[in-house]
Structure 1
Amino acid sequence: MKSFDVAIIGSGPSGASAAFELSKSGISTVIIEKETLPRYKTCGGGLVFRGLKMMPFDISSVVEKEFYAIDTYFSQKHPCITTRRKEPIVSMVMRDAFDNLIVEKARNNGVTLLQNHKVVDITFGETQTIHTTEGDVTAKFIIAADGALSPIAKIAGWKETRTIIPALEYEVEVPAADFERLSNDARFDIDAIPYGYGWCFPKKNHLSIGVAVVIKTNKKINLKEYYAAYLKRLGITEILKEEGHGFVIPVAPRTDFFVQKNVFLTGDSAGLADPLVAEGISNSILSGIQAAEAIIESQLDPEKAAVLYTEKLKTGILPEIEKAKVLSYHFYSKKSFRNIILMKYGQYAAEALTDLFMGERTYPKDYLKSITKKIKDAIFF
């Protein structure tokens, strides 16, 4: 039976980043992955600069395109707003290559990778016994980095308290003229779908196009129908090749806790995507690093590690998510409210959002008061 200090279940940005961080401290670590790497992962693949800055090594070998400008269409009634920066606002990656790069860096530092090991159950105790399809693995700590569906959270006893939204993404090959026309900038179209947005992310030789409903609604929304309408908005009338994937994104964190039975939830399993834009890679990387740091700083003490990880989340990611959640509700469900602001402050709003992508600012604490004042200024002046 293989034994380790830490078992990380899942090899995405969260799990792989946690493994790399642990490897620097000499803590014996294993990544347990149910598939063979590199494996396809449904994702728009937009790594914003705040996430790129967290990477402890060069990732240029897996970056397909870099964009120093973003086009945002807040609605069909408003003109396109473009923001520009000296550093890449978003770097386009394919998740199979990106995730595998981080895993390989961790392996080079001594982390063990077990592929084609699907976890079927866990026996909990002072040491956790992880039962997989290829045999048992024991570890003192488990980091659950197994994504939005997170079977590990279910096995460990968590009930579902996250807010989960639907999304649809296609890898699309189009004629050369269309690709040339659409490949110059990353693009967001707010209201391309009710309560959400569409995106067009150019990759090396194809487009990643999708739609997502960002806030929870009881209304039934046909994602395929709005995706088809979004293609028309983009001016795409011919598709050479198309491969679609439906997926879900947790945009509000668990409301109970993030550690129990020596299992640490990170990334989507914890529900840490940004509620305003549904971007999850950067917080996945950060939460993976923070879980690893907590275990390292505790000197493998489970109680101390749980407290440390929770404190790190409460002083960093969680306050930002809470503020973004309220802003997201007003932004997507109060369209008239939003459009009054955008008529006068659209460029300011786009610049502020870009600053968030760049990691140059946080969500403001008193934005509702500030927005109310701006509405009055917009109406009366």
Structure 2
Amino acid sequence: MSETSETVSTPPSASRECPQHEADVIVVGAGPSGATTAYHLAQAGLDVLVLEKTAFPREKVCGDGLTPRAVKQLTSMGVSFEDKGWIRNHGLRIIGGGVRLELPWPELAEYPGFGLVRTRYDFDEILIGRAVEAGARLLERTNVTEPVIDPRSNRIVGVRAKNADGERVSYRAPLVVAADGNSSRLSVAMGIRKRDDRPMGVAVRTYFTSPRHDDDYLESWLELWDSSGGKDVLLPGYGWVFGVGDGTSNVGLGILNSTASFQDVDYRNLLRRWTSSMPEEWGFTEDNQRGRIRGAALPMGFNRTPHYSRGLLLVGDAGGMVNPFNGEGIAYAMEAGHIAADVIVQARSRPTRQARERTLLGYPRILRDTYGGYYTLGRYFVKMIGNPDFMKYATKYGLPQPLLMRFTLKLLANLTEPSHGDAMDRVINGLSKMAPAA
């Protein structure tokens, strides 16, 4: 008998239900993690219902840059990069300490040798479109307000939401995936809260009409100087300039909470001051700005756990899966969505409730085995770059060393061969395995 048949403590008149509101799995949120989860579940033949509080297309705060890790996931979903709107990049350009260094993406069998840029305005829509084509059902303007808990098992068996007409509606499924972003109201309602021992960042960005719009390298500035207090202060974080290919550049900065100054920084003013120091011919001026400066939190290093509890799986920002080394979130959101889908499919094939639950409890373990040690290294890295003296030393003596910087690129972007790699790969993989996956 399906677990959706369990009794829930919901008055019959409290919300409207119908067969179309039942599914094998409900995915809350249609961003990269939710869309990827839904796609792979639908590909496996499951009935998947995706509930998205907004409507597509929609704007999201992001750098719009995609590393080869993300490109691999897009390829596995059958996304075509030949359509208008995609711009390829060959690697990372690093600027700092008076040094300008271009580092091509490493040539690996595990990942493609190129990255991409695509504005989030329609990127998420492309992904959820692939999920719908695979068979997933999407309901837009459906704002999930709370979980439905079975009082006997204390498990989630659905969600309550307000639909596009403002009606209260219940949706039922034996498993629910929280892909509802950093705040993840669903996770909080299930008692899964953020961890204070994990790094957190803030990213702010805007767009400028610029001749640099077709740059084929992602550009990262390692030094962010704040002079607002009367003296130059080097802040933990980085700036970026990513050509979008449509006549504009995505220009932004990310700052980490590894220093006491984190809470006091006016990020938008800092971005304005930083861009005003750029060469005039780049066009990063107020007259050329397209859209306002927008900001978003960067939940890093598994800052919300456990990633599975009582029928709820967390993916993407809901589970704090942003890479602490470089602030990349999309690749890990998509990878986690793929992993979650595989676990769910395997769990549903088990003959007993106990066996299904054992399989689902393996999801956090797979995440720890895959990312835990690497994210621990990332937390150490965040603490190190929070030290201004270390950053000054690193940029002055590290950037001029091409071999060291190639190693650093592999480390920060997490681009290594899992086996049969070169010496750099073996060192990075070894360190990740030795680090505790706490």
Give the TM interval when normalised to the shorter protein. 0.7 to 0.9
- Of 41, 51, 55, which aligns to 2:70? 51
SS at match of 1:108: helix
Flag the structure with larger Rg: 2
When residues 256 and 65 of structure 1 are mapped into structure 2, their CA distance, relative to the original with a 3 A threshold, is closer
Deviation at 1:89, TM superposition (A): 3.8
2:59 to 3, 17, 40: 40
For residues 164-199 of structure 1, the C-alpha deviation after alignment (integer angstroms, 9 at most, x for no partner) is 21111112224xxx436x735321001225100000
**Residues 249-277 of structure 1: per-residue CA shift (max 9 Å, x gap):** 01221364111121111111111111011
Equivalent position amino acid for 1:242 in 2: R
How far apart are the structure 2 equivalents of 1:275 and 1:179?
28
In the TM superposition, what are the counterparts of 1:230-379 in structure 2 within 5 Å? Answer: 230-235=274-279, 236=283, 238=285, 239-243=287-291, 244-254=293-303, 256-299=305-348, 302-333=356-387, 334-339=390-395, 341-342=397-398, 345=401, 347-356=402-411, 357=413, 359-361=415-417, 363-366=428-431
TM-score after normalising by structure 2: 0.76
Q: 1:124 aligns with which of 145, 149, 162?
A: 149
Residue deviations 1:132-183 (CA, integer Å, cap 9, x gap): 1021111111111111121111111112215321111112224xxx436x73
1:41–1:72 Cα change, 3 Å: same
1:332 shift after superposition: 4.2
Paired amino acid for 2:329: G
Whole-Å Cα distance in 2 between the matches of residues 364 and 338 of structure 1? 22
Secondary structure of 1:165's aligned partner: strand
Q: Which amino acid aligns with 2:125?
A: N
Distance in 2 of aligned mates of 1:168 and 1:318: 27
**In 2, distance between residues paired with 1:196 and 1:187?**
14
From 58, 78, 99, the equivalent of 1:79 is 99
Q: 1:218 aligns with which of 260, 277, 280?
A: 260
Contact 1:31 1:112 in 2 (8 A): yes
1:155 aligned onto 2:211: no
Q: Could you say if the C-alpha distance between residues 62 and 20 of structure 1 is closer, same or farther in structure 2, counting changes exceeding 3 Å?
A: farther
Are the aligned partners of 1:186 and 1:201 in contact in 2 as well (CA < 8 Å)?
yes
Which residue of the partner structure matches residue 171 of structure 1? 207
Q: Which moves more between the two structures, 165-174 or 261-270?
A: 165-174
In structure 1, what is the equivalent of residue 37 of structure 2? 18
Identity between Structure 1 and Structure 2 (%): 18
Counterpart pick for 1:183 among 206, 212, 215:
215
Deviations 1:42-82 (A, max 9, x none): 11111100111122113313653111132101x2x331011
For residues 364 and 224 of structure 2, the distance between their equivalents in structure 1, rounded to whole angstroms, comes to: 37
Letter in 2 for 1:120: T
Residues 123 and 49 (structure 1), Cα distance of their counterparts in 2 relative to 1, 3 Å cut: same
User: Unmatched 5+ residue regions in structure 2?
Assistant: 1-16, 164-168, 226-234, 418-424
CA distance in 2: counterparts of 1:89 and 1:215, whole angstroms:
31
Preserved contact between residue 201 and residue 256 of structure 2 (Cα < 8 Å): yes
Answer yes or no: is the 8 Å Cα contact 2:156–2:310 preserved in 1. no
Given the alignment of the two structures, is residue 229 of structure 1 paired with residue 273 of structure 2, yes or no?
yes
Question: How far apart, CA to CA, are the structure 2 residues paired with 1:129 and 1:147?
Answer: 18
Count of residue correspondences: 361
Structure 2 counterpart of 1:8: 27
Deviations 1:291-323 (A, max 9, x none): 111111112655124322112101102222111
CA RMSD of aligned residues (A): 2.4
CA distance in 1, matches of 2:199, 2:244: 29
Amino acid at match of 2:200: I
Q: 1:285 to 1:197 in 2, by over 3 A?
A: same
Does structure 1 conserve the Cα–Cα contact (< 8 Å) formed by 2:70 and 2:334? yes
Q: Supply the distance in 1 between the matched residues of 2:125 and 2:284 (Cα, whole angstroms).
A: 35
For 2:189 and 2:84, the matched residues in 1 are separated by 34
CA distance in 2 between counterparts of 1:297 and 1:202 reads 41
Paired amino acid for 1:351: R
When residues 170 and 296 of structure 1 are mapped into structure 2, their CA distance, relative to the original with a 3 A threshold, is: same
- The one-letter code of the counterpart of 1:208 is N
CA contact (8 A) 2:88 2:216 kept: no
d(CA) in 1 for partners of 2:133 and 2:277?
46
1:206 deviation in Å?
Answer: 0.6
Whether the 8 Å CA contact 1:272–1:321 is kept in 2: the answer is no
1:366 Cα deviation from its structure 2 partner: 4.4
Provide the TM-score with structure 1 as the length reference.
Answer: 0.87
The offset of 1:94, in angstroms, is 1.4
Stretches of structure 1 that go unaligned for 5 or more consecutive residues are 370-381
Q: Distance in 1 between matches of 2:46 and 2:185?
A: 25
**Residue 110 (structure 1) aligned to one of 131, 135, 138:** 135
Structure 1, residues 217-249: CA drift from partner, whole Å, max 9, x if none? 321222123212321343146332332211110
**Distance of aligned partners of 1:89 and 1:78 in 2 relative to their CA distance in 1, 3 Å threshold:** farther
